[in-house]
Structure 1
Amino acid sequence: MQRRDLLRLTTFSVLLAAVGQLPAAQAQPPTDLMPAFWRAYDAGRDAGDRVEAIRAAFFLPNAELYAGAGLKPTYERLATWLPKFDAIAVDARRLSHGFDDHYKRHAQHFQREFPDFRRERAPIYLMPSLFMFDGHLQPWQGKLPLFVGIDGIVRYHGADANLSVFLDHESFHLYHGQHLPQLLMDEAPPVYGSLWLEGLATYVSERLNPDASLLHVLLDDQKLASADEATVRELAAKLLAVMDSTAPEDSNRFFGAGYKGPEPARGGYLVGLAIAREIGRGRPLAELARIPMPEVRGLMQKQLRDLAGRES
């Protein structure tokens, strides 16, 4: 299972051509499916077949949107998910009720940093994701929506999730795509491209949230947040060896949340953050999003060599 899919968008260039009419501050608020879900969830408590009752009342009427997010809420999947969701339902309800206020604050401060950002072609949907994601970007109906899994946020980030860090990270992917579409539309980006995408988004969320802990910046991954210099050095050396690879197994090895192996899962985020800190020192964040691909490769190679302790 992937918590966050990299944006391999074959139609992204078309989507970007349509972006650019309204400032983000005027963008529509998120489309919130959670009130309808809570009605179905609460009404289903006394049903003989609770799973089917909730499925019929909420998931089937929203099947098209779920398909747009790449999910199929089958009876079997819901039956597995529902007992686990019950355990966090109180926290998920509190988060969903307060999300709109968090989003308004996020949109205002993100727009101040990136005044040329256009969000109107990237609507936001709040929904239960069946724990398949916290945030997920995928083209749908001629737009590039951000699907936000309220249950995924609570499960992967806790009841007190730092939504400012989370939303800044996701919004920067969208902003980055406005300036570097050839990377984000690549179905199989090279490892160095993914390293820059995720490292820079992580760094931006750190810069925009100076009071946030490293744990929150690294998306609440305790193992990454406690990694020592030797771990970073070893990861950098391994990334350097496969930096031009487009093989799915190499991408999963360094960026997949579900990776099981000798390296820490999502180690590319940690190394990418270290690289982005170095490259971004003293530079405006918007300038970093405009670095062209040929230059990105050279920068990634140099920084990986430096981190690995190797001569250029």
Structure 2
Amino acid sequence: MKKLVNRILALAYGAYFNILALFSKKLAGEKAFTLFSSPRKGNVLPLQASFLKKAEDIIIEVGGKQIQTYSWAGTKDTVLLLHGWESNSFRWRNLIQFLSDANFAIVAFDAPAHGNSSGGIFNVPLYAECTQHIVKHFKPSFIIGHSVGGMAALYYQYLYPQNSIKKIVTIGAPSELYELMVHYQNIVGFNKKVLESLDLYFQAHFGYGIRDFSSSQFARKIQIDGLLFHDIEDPITPYHNSEKVHANWKNSRLISTRGLGHSMHQGKVNNQIIDFLKSKKRANFSS
């Protein structure tokens, strides 16, 4: 019943955007973007709070937003963790244990409009901006990003190549904004004119169209080492996204799995991440 209600509501938004676009493409693009960028989940639940309260708690202000960070001490390099859409820093609980056992220092933060951070809107450019502030404060050597967090990590590295980051790991990360927009279009049911209005919105506010924002293209400019995990049967983000990024990222390796899903909390994944972070040799991946 809940799925049916959500489907009807989504289609109602689509119909509204279609009508609005007849009168104002600008307003239709703005409204469609706002809906797309408004998380409905990701708040910290009581069980999650009991885990996160064990970390050091620091608030960092970014553009008037209060960004909640969490840190765990370690004797080795610092690892920065970027969660995905409608999630929060608790999603890293399994990997945090592996990193702690390996004596890495750890930093995670709740993205805008997620967890204990403020704001109502979330998008990758904003996530990358927050990441820049966090990197300046904590000076991490590594970034690990899940799903949209992985997309934000690559965009961040593309924008700010002169930083402390030595390696990036992505897990089930999307690559092409256009594909995300088409998926959004299929769910909500808006027409081509609304999609065009979204493209105009992105051009006006971010300086690029929806076909221009591409992790696979950003990867051409990334010089540091990368490790990509993606499940061939990922039900959320199709596998070809990481294939595209890997094809253009010179110093990357793609680890393909089957049956591990989108979240990929499994121990064998975490162990491979630890091995990659510990490796001192500069990668020269060919597959």
**TM-score, normalised on structure 1?**
0.28
State the structure with bigger RCO (CA 8 A, min sep 6), 1 or 2: 1
Higher helix share: 1
Higher strand share: 2
